[in-house]
Amino acid sequence: MDYSLSEELEMIRTMVRDFASEEVAPTAALRDEEERFDRHLFEMMGELGLTGILVPELYGGLGSDALTNCLVLEELARACASTGYTLFVHSGLAGMAISMFGSEEQKKLFLGPMGNGQKLGAYAWSESTHTEGASGLILHTQALRDGDNYVLQGAKFFVTNAGDADVYVVFASTGNDAMSRESSAFIIEKGTPGFLLGKKERKLGLRGSPSMSIELVDCRIPIANRLGEEGDGLRIALQTLESARSGIAALAVGLAQAALDVSVSYAKTRKQFGKPIAQQQAIAFKLANMATQIEAAKLLTYQAAWRESQGAVGGAYSNLFAGDTAMAVTIEAVQIHGGYGYTKAFPVERYMRDAKMLQMIEATMDEERRAIARLMKMR
């Protein structure tokens, strides 16, 4: 088995790493502090082709595979996990949903501007409460057919990129009664009458990737904005999430690597009793364990990306292990920095906050364990 990356992939990794270190990392702490999305950075990523990494070449994107996407997200998260997560939602969720299930007209209309960084995408599935009916998950947001239109009523919560996004993939119930599981997906553009922005979430981590609620009040959109067939909502949501699942693991790997990098640097320069603390066995062993965990998480992530490119599943393993690794490594990073690790003088406290979010977004670690149990035929 060949575990080496091709020359092309190494060039992409180097290009993204240089961009991330020069343009993304210097302002990461400030954007976290101000809970601010930087549109200019997103536009710069568009100029480099990163916002169209998964968009087919036919529609102006790079048409890259899951492994290339993982390398991009890993390097961005190494500089700023918030920036990486913004791109993940834009291309891996909103863009991928349109790419996989959109009509030819929808692809031509939305994928080009999303791929070149002119338009930012968002993905709206979560609601404040979910109801489990006899047939499964029920959405309370309703989309009622009215002639050649749909009228949407309801609210969505924790919508990443909301407020700054231009294109929203929104899921709503299209069943005949309030307890129906049937749902559909819709493309709604910013500025559509009845599409309202709600409260901005004050989050523990990933603060540079804002999340807001959205409200739909008599929001009328044409049938042409429905994504896929009526009733395809759950299938679209699940297949989209599965197709990009390795992206979350890649973000966790990049974040963990950042925590290790700064910890190694600190341990080499911080002295106790006249010697760098890196020479202390306890610290050296901590760093060795961190590096080993990251290497294992990286291999699982790359394997998951390869499986995704083959149309197979298995991302739960990488997401679970990489998410737990990011949390464990960032906690150790704070510990190595001692009292300084608990302050904003060093970035490890931000890394730790971001790592916790990566254990919860898209699927919690317990949900990943349930998915693995199902793969093992234990449930």
* Pairwise CA distance, residues 127 & 220, whole Å: 20
pLDDT band at 272 (very low <50, low <70, confident <90, very high): confident
* Pairwise CA distance, residues 304 & 337, whole Å: 33
Secondary structure in 3-state letters for 117-131: CCCCEEEECCCCCCE
CA contacts within 13 A on the Cβ side of 278 = 14
Q: What is the mean pLDDT of residues 131-152?
A: 79
Percent of the chain with pLDDT over 90: 79
Full set of structural domains in the chain with CATH: 7-120 (1.10.540.10), 123-229 (2.40.110.10), 245-375 (1.20.140.10)
Residue 3, pLDDT above cutoff 80: no
* Pairwise CA distance, residues 374 & 189, whole Å: 37
Residue 313, pLDDT above cutoff 90: no
pLDDT digits (tens, 9 = 90+) for 113-127: 999 999 999 999 998
Q: Phi/psi of residue 312, each to 5°?
A: -100, 170
Helices 246-269 and 66-79 cross at an angle (nearest 10°) of 40
Residue 132, pLDDT above cutoff 70: no
pTM of the model: 0.93
Q: What residues are labeled active site?
A: 362
If you average pLDDT over every residue of the chain, what do you get?
Answer: 92
Radius of gyration of the chain (CA): 21
Q: Which two tokens stand for residue 28?
A: 């990461």
**What is the three-class DSSP state of 77?**
helix
pLDDT digits (tens, 9 = 90+) for 51-103: 999 999 999 999 999 999 999 999 999 999 999 999 999 999 999 999 999 99
Q: How many residues does the chain have?
A: 379
Determine which of 24-28, 221-225, 295-299, 373-377 has the lowest per-residue pLDDT on average.
373-377
CA dihedral 172, 174, 177, 178 (to 10 degrees): 0
Q: Which two tokens stand for residue 46?
A: 């568009």
Residue 76 CA to chain centroid, in angstroms?
A: 11
Residue 85 CA to chain centroid, in angstroms?
A: 4
- Residue with the larger pLDDT of the pair 177 and 154: 154
pLDDT band at 327 (very low <50, low <70, confident <90, very high): very high
* Pairwise CA distance, residues 197 & 56, whole Å: 31
User: Do 69 and 305 form a contact (C-beta atoms < 8 A)?
Assistant: yes
At 133 the pLDDT is: 40
